[in-house]
Amino acid sequence: MPRSERIVENLNAALHRLFAEDELVYLIGEDLLDPYGGAFKVAKGLSSKYPDRVLTTPLSESGFVGVANGLALCGNKVVTEIMFGDFALLSFDQLCNFAAKSVTMYGSRLPLRLVVRCPVGGHRGYGPTHSQSVQKHFIGVPNLWLYEMTPLHDNGAVFAEMLAREEPCVFFEDKTLYGQRRWVDGDDDVFRFDFLGERGQYGRATPEDVDRPDCVVIATGGTAPLALEAARRLFLESEIACHVLVPYRLYPFDIDPISSLLERADHIVVVEESVAGGTWGAEVAQHIYGRLWDRLNDRIRLVHSAPSIIPTAPHLERQVLVQSESVYATVREAIRD
Amino acid sequence: MPRSERIVENLNAALHRLFAEDELVYLIGEDLLDPYGGAFKVAKGLSSKYPDRVLTTPLSESGFVGVANGLALCGNKVVTEIMFGDFALLSFDQLCNFAAKSVTMYGSRLPLRLVVRCPVGGHRGYGPTHSQSVQKHFIGVPNLWLYEMTPLHDNGAVFAEMLAREEPCVFFEDKTLYGQRRWVDGDDDVFRFDFLGERGQYGRATPEDVDRPDCVVIATGGTAPLALEAARRLFLESEIACHVLVPYRLYPFDIDPISSLLERADHIVVVEESVAGGTWGAEVAQHIYGRLWDRLNDRIRLVHSAPSIIPTAPHLERQVLVQSESVYATVREAIRD
Amino acid sequence: MLTSELRPGGRETAPTRLDDDDLELLLLIRHFERNLLDLFSAGKLNGTTHTCIGQEYVPVALARLLDDRDYVFSNHRGHGHYLSRFRDPAGLLAEIMGRDGAVCHGVGGSQHIFRERFLSTGVQGESLPVAVGVALHLKRHEPGALAAVFVGDGTWGEGSVYEALNMARLWQVPLLVVVEHNEIAQSTPTTLQMAGTIAARAAAFGVEHRRVESADVNAIRGLVAPAVERVRQANRPLVLEFATTRIGPHSKGDDTRTEEELRSVRARDWYLAYQKVFPDQFARLDTRQREAIERITRDVDARTPSRWEGSCPGQSES
Amino acid sequence: MLTSELRPGGRETAPTRLDDDDLELLLLIRHFERNLLDLFSAGKLNGTTHTCIGQEYVPVALARLLDDRDYVFSNHRGHGHYLSRFRDPAGLLAEIMGRDGAVCHGVGGSQHIFRERFLSTGVQGESLPVAVGVALHLKRHEPGALAAVFVGDGTWGEGSVYEALNMARLWQVPLLVVVEHNEIAQSTPTTLQMAGTIAARAAAFGVEHRRVESADVNAIRGLVAPAVERVRQANRPLVLEFATTRIGPHSKGDDTRTEEELRSVRARDWYLAYQKVFPDQFARLDTRQREAIERITRDVDARTPSRWEGSCPGQSES
Ligand SMILES: Cc1ncc(C[n+]2csc(CCOP(=O)(O)OP(=O)(O)O)c2C)c(N)n1
Ligand SMILES: Cc1ncc(C[n+]2csc(CCOP(=O)(O)OP(=O)(O)O)c2C)c(N)n1
Ligand SMILES: [Mg+2]
Ligand SMILES: [Mg+2]
């Protein structure tokens, strides 16, 4: 894969660009000031350049999301950082009962430009309260949009879209991606990268010259690298051709750009790190069944982590979390069945 | 339908029995003391009889669920009342990150006997922040069980089961049910009532003598009356025979007691009041597709409220919320398609 | 000293004369809400409503101290707050009855109102941090304006109140927290839900506090005006606590206080005080407002149901 | 008076002589955690860990004031709390390294420990209301026992702290809130995250408060014992605030304080003070503990990975 910037650099650059271009942009959250620059360093350099618009807060996840709501209410564009997505549960009321509701509950449209960033996911040994994939809990709140960072999409464009929406958005960032490099500049040895949809909503990895895939694998940004690895093995070992699709928007799920591809696929697998139960994957499946019922050759298979809290020790964590092998095995099983 | 006790009476009696039989039982929440007895009067009489074990709290939804967790940690059996389920979002962290996690995250099993009661649902003109169906947000947290009050099941038995589970449970109570009468004593003019599953997990309404239903309608406790009304019209108007299934446990979804019935059905409809998106209905559908893929004649159809906040004025609220007509129309559509 | 009690013109003293405008506003709110309770009893309203009967003088006293650039965050008991700001009984009644001309098209109802810089919601405590964000914005872009939040005593049970006070003081923003301390929350007396005092809770965060015992609109204004001005000029958050009385039920017909408590509460009604001390002015304005509300009610009741553009909006897929 | 500063034996005074057991416990914690940082540097640990280097004396001083019937709620910076209660470095190290013999089978790791009546979690502020529930239970069923919660100064940003204090005082439960006030939260100095004082925040809820400046274990015990006893006997919640210093990084290698700050912080290390004033006792015990930790580390490192029954448990469907 060609050498490219790290994803955390791309995200940091996106924020720098936002701040530079627009005086209405704020960032608010814990431990944001330089030299620390946020727990995952996403805020690096911002507080030095824009001291007035980077608000480092006390430990008050509910309170500072409320402050963000107030700033947004006055027309600002507010990016909020929750240190660990697990703590977004502390802000649930502000997000759902204030931010999302306010857009419509007063009978006329009240625009709110707000993005709540949530680092999520495990594989880092942070333990059960610092590793969850909390996306599922926020699905299905009217006027609350869910996005997720991917290895394919430019975060600058995604942030521009979220803020232009004028409705609150949650942006999930899988922690394992921060240090990885973006998938850009065309191809790697096996895969070609391209985008589907008018605005490139879906990043796609395909083995060269395969139009009718054996399997379409839809994966969240965070699990995309695992899906890609599985797809690579399947192709190299057995010439099983997967298209790996990675949307930058999770909810509402947008089937249009991929529905003709899905129709052509023999099998469909959806990958996410969350444990099963009310997940994004189930939501995706529900949409596909609804739209393509007559054309499906096989049921849709979901890949999840084991139904468990996420243990701390690496050997235990590994047993619980989705791995590339789980994706691999599920595709194989689909093809064998 | 034969005259029977009101559902709120049954629930109140269930709590009275719990308190009488077991000194470890607590009830905690806002405005619980007599003569008020809780906003929906579910607690009536308890504080007079058991003043030490009914804790009326300040407005502190996060805090008092925490207190409940602490009492449960010491071996007590704790029932918590959130005045409106919408405010359970304020306690999300205590429920998910403390109660549910504690059962397993310390490496050995820590029993917690806790039931968090949440009145949910609309049709009462309480407006957008007091009418939501928040079930969906709590689905898929390991060791957090979701139950819902139904017109068929005895709440005493359900509470006994929840507390015996020794893991935290959320119990949703559709506000429209409180004043309605239970469906008991066998039959009404059209339907026979019975139960499926070893522990009667599913209440069922069937037109007499129909074994192979045209449609199985699975409904939450709160939407069960709407489903029944639709089923009645369909039968009387067109002899379309629906089996209406009402589980008292929402999550984890238990397909075993009904899977052979589902196999025999031409169509399956799932009804819930929530707006679409990451809902219980999608979870149910996902399970059915997974288990019965080869035997399904039709896609599973979900009935939801319109994707909107819930307005206050009755004429607007009606346009948004699931009505009996939506169920009726969906079954008709399924049969016509 | 950060906290002080403002006693002059206490509840037992006879009230001073109000100009017609003030007294009329007081009576407007009173008749508006009495009428709501009647409409409920007559089955003409559904859902819920929370009247501020007995507390009307708080927003009326503050009305002249606030201006259009200020944001006001109201709560479940917000009719008085709204009417003091907009004098729009028809728009509010239409909202509550779901009729044409409703300020929020009938979507928000009694508890969820938005108009210009006025906003209410039904989740207690949620508005405080939001108001801090607004106040921060005002400090930077509209110096001299403030964000006011009305809360009850019971709402001080919510953690978000403290998260907000902490940030308000750290960032020195023009936040005015108006506490309508009526010694009760729904059915729960304050003694069962609040340890310590509001004064001490403000002091805990280095936030200024004033407690007002008086129910005399003129006296209140005189007493609190300088402190409110300091909020604007010095960006110093202020907690302004009013010792007040809720005379009506929490919502409708759900008052579980004893007859004795209710008697004592009713005896402190400003309505009786002004009636007694200024009988002529009172009678004239009282009649006028009563009739106005009757007229408005007939008018609004006759209107068609409110319409809402987004009645089945969906998330505009794109 | 509800609040007071306990100064005798302040940070600048020379420490009094500790018995071997106390000093050994202090040194055990110190060497345990230094060793953790070394293991991290050597790539032998993953995830995160928060050392209490500089603060060890707080749990050590309290250890003898707590007994087995007491519940202890610890936080992210909990090794000292755990070791003071159980003196079980092997079990804790095994937990952190995920080895056989781990107190929680390696599932909880550094931040999520449960053993008998000791429980820690990584979500700041969450434990306080839980401890109120526990204290209520103890008051009723095991009078004389208390629930202690360790929190940092930064955690006072969380609303749940105040919801808990309110209920603790309303219900008069034996709650002991131990505040390790090290003037910093992760990277944020207290001046940027806390308005007012902890003393005033306790007072706001009518909760007793003591601030301890001393780092002398003996002196601390003498000073705080009566107040802790009152928690037990009179069911009076107490906030016990220790002015202390975090000498190490927040977790590993993430200290952004200036060299100058760090110098001043290090100068206040009890380790240096005891070393200087009681060189012989110190050297003997220091060596013993250092060696003990080395031994334990070799032992634990050689063990097989921890096993967890429920490693893929699922919700036992039924
Ligand atoms: C978060 C939340 N919890 C509970 C309620 C239900 N509720 C509405 S008003 C109220 C009492 C509020 O008391 P107080 O703050 O003193 O205001 P008052 O009604 O006395 O004006 C309660 C419990 C709510 N609306 N929001
Ligand atoms: C709810 C929550 N928010 C944020 C964090 C991340 N975090 C862990 S420790 C910490 C700082 C805590 O500071 P303080 O309470 O002073 O304790 P100290 O680390 O100084 O001992 C933060 C922000 C967390 N664990 N939980
Ligand atoms: Mg009140
Ligand atoms: Mg600290």
B6-52 pLDDT, tens digit per residue, is 999 999 999 999 999 999 999 999 999 999 999 999 999 999 999 99
Q: How confident is the model at residue A30 (pLDDT cuts 50, 70, 90)?
A: very high
A275-319 pLDDT, tens digit per residue, is 999 999 999 999 999 999 999 999 999 999 999 999 999 999 999
pLDDT of residue D313: 45
A117-134 pLDDT, tens digit per residue, is 999 999 999 999 999 999
Distance of CA C100 to the CA centre of its chain: 25
**Residue D247 pLDDT more than 90?**
yes
Beta bridge partners of A207: A191
**Residue A108 pLDDT more than 70?**
yes
pLDDT of residue C315: 40
Is C307 inside any structural domain? no
Query: Tokens 């002249």 belong to which residue?
Result: C64
Query: What 3-state class would DSSP assign to D238?
Result: strand
**Looking at domain B191-336, does it have CATH number 3.40.50.920?**
yes
pLDDT of residue B1: 46
**Residue D148 pLDDT more than 50?**
yes
Mean pLDDT of D256-260: 91
Average pLDDT, chain D: 94
CATH number assigned to the domain comprising residue C287: 3.40.50.970
Lowest mean pLDDT among B176-185, D118-127, D299-308: B176-185
Angle in degrees, 0-180, between the axes of helices D89-97 and D279-301, rounded to the nearest 10: 40
Q: What percent of chain A has pLDDT over 90?
A: 95
> Fold identical between A7-177 and A191-336?
yes
Angle in degrees, 0-180, between the axes of helices D270-277 and D279-301, rounded to the nearest 10: 130
Atom of ligand 2 nearest to the CA of A87: 1
Cβ contact B127–C125 (<8 Å): no
Q: Give this prediction's pTM.
A: 0.97
C193 vs D317, residue with greater confidence: C193
Q: How confident is the model at residue D8 (pLDDT cuts 50, 70, 90)?
A: very low
Average pLDDT, chain B: 96
Mean pLDDT of B182-187: 78
DSSP H or E run through B158:
helix B155-164
Residues in chain D: 318
D125 near A CB under 8 A? yes
pLDDT of residue C7: 53
Name the residue with the closest Cα to ligand 1, atom 6: B83
Cβ contact D186–A312 (<8 Å): no
B304 near A CB under 8 A? no
CA angle at B196 for the pair B194 and B198, rounded to the nearest 5°:
125
Containing structural domain, residue C155: 3-170+183-238+249-301
Quick one: DSSP state of residue C147?
E
**A200 Cα to chain D: minimum distance (Å):** 35
- Structure-token pair, residue D190: 């207290």
Residues with CB under 5 A from ligand 3 (ion): C 152-154, 182, 185
The residue ranges of every structural domain in chain A are 7-177, 191-336
Q: List subunits contacting chain D, requiring 3 or more Cβ pairs under 8 Å.
A: A, B, C
Q: How confident is the model at residue A186 (pLDDT cuts 50, 70, 90)?
A: low
Q: Is the peptide bond before A35 cis (omega within 30 degrees of 0)?
A: yes
**Residue D12 pLDDT more than 90?**
no
pLDDT of residue C316: 41
**A→D interface, C-beta within 8 Å:** 30-31, 33, 35-36, 39, 56-63, 86-87, 90, 124-130, 306-309, 311-316, 319-320
**Residue C8 pLDDT more than 50?**
no
Average pLDDT, chain C: 94
Non-local CB neighbours of A328 within 8 Å, separated by 6+ positions: A230, A233, A234
Report chain B residues whose CB lies below 8 A from the CB of D108: 105-107
Question: Which residues line ligand 1 at a C-beta cut-off of 6 Å?
Answer: B 30, 59, 61, 83, 87; C 76-77, 122-125, 151-155, 180, 182, 184-186, 246
In which order are the strands placed within the sheet that holds A242-247? Answer: A191-196, A202-207, A242-247, A215-219, A267-275, A301-305
C254 vs C35, residue with greater confidence: C35
pLDDT of residue C138: 98
Atom of ligand 1 nearest to the CA of C158: 1
Is C218 inside any structural domain? yes
Is C306 inside any structural domain? no
**Residue C11 pLDDT more than 80?**
no
CA angle at A298 for the pair A295 and A304, rounded to the nearest 5°:
125
DSSP A88-109: GGGGHIIIIIIIIHHTTTTSS-
pLDDT of residue A1: 46
Mean pLDDT of C217-241: 97
C296 near A CB under 8 A? no
- Number of domains composing chain C: 1
**D222 Cα to chain B: minimum distance (Å):** 30
**Residue B222 pLDDT more than 90?**
yes
**Residue C12 pLDDT more than 70?**
no
Amino acid letter for position C243: A
From the candidate CATH numbers 1.10.150.650, 3.40.50.970, 1.20.1740.10, 1.10.4190.10, the one assigned to the domain spanning A7-177 = 3.40.50.970
Instruction: Write out the E strands in C37-78.
Output: 71-74
Q: How confident is the model at residue A321 (pLDDT cuts 50, 70, 90)?
A: very high
**Residue A203 pLDDT more than 80?**
yes
Query: Tokens 């707080």 belong to which residue?
Result: D58
- For A239-279, where are the alpha helices, taking DSSP H only? 259-264
User: Ligand 2 centre and the CA of B99: distance in Å?
Assistant: 20
* Maximum Cα interatomic distance, chain C, rounded to a whole number of Å: 64
Name the residue with the closest Cα to ligand 1, atom 21: C152
Q: Which ligand is nearest to the CA of D127?
A: 2
Cβ contact C112–A145 (<8 Å): no
D272-314 pLDDT, tens digit per residue, is 999 999 999 999 999 999 999 999 999 999 999 999 987 544 4
User: Ligand 2 centre and the CA of A180: distance in Å?
Assistant: 27
- For D42-158, where are the alpha helices, taking DSSP H only? 57-63, 79-86, 89-97, 127-141
C-alpha distances (whole Å) from D211 to each of A313, D63, D195, D197, D220 are 38, 18, 17, 11, 10
Q: How confident is the model at residue D173 (pLDDT cuts 50, 70, 90)?
A: very high
